[in-house]
Amino acid sequence: MDTDPVKITVLDDDAHGIPAAEYAETLRDRLPDAEVSLAKTPPQERRLVPDATVVTGATLGEDLIADAGNLRLFACRSAGVDHLPLETFEEHGVAVTNASGIHGPNVAEHVLGWLLMFTRRLDEGLRRQKRREWRRYPSFGELTGKTVTVVGLGAIGEAVVERLEGFGVGTIGVRYTPEKGGPTDEVIGFDRRDLLAALAETDFLVLACPLTETTEGLIGATELGVLPTDAVVVNVARGPVVDTPALVETLRDNRLHGAGLDVTDPEPLPEGHPLWGFENVFITPHAAGHTPRCWERLADIVAENVETAKATGEYDGLRNQIV
């Protein structure tokens, strides 16, 4: 058993709506025997990272990885790791974990908010309220009886499906390994024929998958054209999963009821981009994962892995380990 104190460096990041200082404090509470430091500036990063056993944050530059001779674990604060220099981490013997699972509840609630907004036309109610106009309008419908296709059955996708259970919807799940099954009524893989057949009967398409070679550009002109004209696309995955020009064209031609986009391509979305101009497109700035409780959930993962490593002497076989 390793008795030396673990040195943890928290890279400053307030992406979840609370300062990273509170994340660092939570780690101190979870790991009272560890030395937890907060790097607020690049000079502090350059000073603290070389001595750290564990670094946690959004990413870490290759130069800092090379200088971090004591680094054993990088705990990424996001579920997606496509932005990380994974090969460099592996070359230097640094384990990498992601934050899969910590965003499930809040992102799923974000998705449900949009589904209900579209279904009950709450956006029209807001517009009429702004005009102080008391005039009834027909509701778009009910979720009951609709078909929701969820692409990606990881923690977020499963959380979405779980929250849909009380609405009486039919669900189709799309995942890399359909043989694993899932919480949806039907599970398919990324076979193009199967996907197009599923899209043809989809009322709400929820994208909650990682960005990979398979999913980049997954929803393009053909896929959007197969969707029913009253369908809604919700993207809480990554912007490039959707072909943005094709989405704009489909919306302009009124061949889609609307879209809820927490991620876009490009991102940030430029001020003059046409997506801003559609009343039936709701946009949030990659904020669906924002909640203070994410830091608590991430601290739980990091603390569990540090305790495991202290007990075994190995940074391997850790929860959420990628490398």
Q: Indicate which residues carry an active-site annotation.
A: 238, 267, 286
What does the CA dihedral 222, 172, 239, 143 come to, rounded to 10 degrees? 100
Enter the DSSP assignment of 255. Answer: -
SS3 235: strand
Structure tokens at 61: 């530059």
Cβ neighbours of 206 (radius 10 Å): 30
Q: Rounded CA gap, 268 and 233, in Å?
A: 19
Q: Rounded CA gap, 296 and 302, in Å?
A: 10
Q: Rounded CA gap, 174 and 157, in Å?
A: 10
Give strand pairing partners of 261: 235, 283
